[in-house]
Amino acid sequence: MLLIGVSDLELCQLIEQAFLPDRCVVSCTDSEHLTIQLGQGDSLDDCLTVTGIRVHSLTSCHELAALVAQVREEKRVAQSHIPFQPRASA
């Protein structure tokens, strides 16, 4: 059961506002799954994209807060990952 009285559009807006001041775009094209794109500042360049979030799994504000915390952590981990660049041989 979805959060009572909250439409898909309102749910998307709640999630987007939770990530302010960073840019976040949440879409729900099939009324069953969410896609979250989370950028840095005003940009969605090099954004973190999370797909397949089941709308019906978000039945309380606690689950919504846990989702936001999980996505924030995934973004933090992704930003701290520095790809290995081999040194040029002389």
Q: What are phi and psi of 30, to 5 degrees?
A: -120, 10
Q: What is the mean pLDDT of residues 38-54?
A: 89
Of 45, 41, 34, the residue nearest 71 (C-alpha): 34
> What pairs with residue 49 in β-bridges?
37
Q: What is the mean pLDDT of residues 39-65?
A: 90
Q: In the chain, what percentage of residues exceed pLDDT 70?
A: 87
